[in-house]
Amino acid sequence: MDTIPMRDPERPEARLLRAATFAARVHATHKRKGASAEPYVNHVLEVAAILAAHGAPEEAVLAGLLHDTVEDSDKDPDPITHERLVAEFGEVVAGVVAEATDDKSLPKEVRKALQVRLAPKKTDAAKMLKLADKISNLRAIAASPPAGWDHARRLEYIGWAGRVAAGLRGVNPALDVLFEVTYREAVARLAQEA
Ligand code: ZN
């Protein structure tokens, strides 16, 4: 994958769009799991937009754009590594992405339990990123659930997201409120279908 040339000093909006372009290229062939199979990049743009709109620091917004590039490119011909993110976006942003990346060598249930347990130990930027990620995922589960996800499985996901979020609260009150509203809406929507 080509690198977009950087100019020194790079303006913040140039860096932001470079990260968005980087993410769009990495996720070019990836789709969301939902029935509407949205382009994956829509998700990372939404996460970054939520962070930017709620006063998150620049490194959190940039990490929002990049947060799934390592985890979701492992089967690609040119997988994105932590080192690559460090080279392109610096230690701080790459570090926040690393905090939000699951260890895919572990079984899914272990990864999910670890997300709950490790949430309170994350840096503030990573907590905000993970909260915005869960907000985007809860919206997607409510609006366009993955094919084959029955009521029980969606309910289980929403409950788990709530348990992870409990450990992420307290660093950004506006995001905490948005999570709460989104969580309640997802539960209400599912209850209607029952
Ligand atoms: Zn995500």
Domain ranges of the chain: 12-193
Kindly give the distance from the C-alpha atom of residue 129 to the centroid of ligand 1, in angstroms, as a whole number: 9
In the set 46, 59, 68, 72, the catalytic residue is 72
CB 61 within 8 A of CB 172: no
- The reply to whether 193 belongs to the active site is no
Distance between CA 44 and CA 25 in Å, rounded?
A: 12
Share of the chain above pLDDT 70, in %: 97
Provide, rounded to the nearest whole percent, the portion of the chain with pLDDT above 90: 79
Q: Pick the catalytic residue: 38, 71, 76, 176?
A: 71
Would you call 72 a catalytic residue per the annotation? yes
Distance CA 22, CA 69 (A): 9
| Alpha carbon 44 to chain centroid, angstroms | 6
What is the CATH code for 12-193? 1.10.3210.10
Q: Give per-residue pLDDT as tens, 93-102.
A: 999 999 999 9
For residue 192 the two structure tokens come to: 């209607």
What confidence score (pLDDT) does residue 193 get?
Answer: 82
The string of pLDDT tens digits covering residues 45-58 is: 999 999 999 999 99
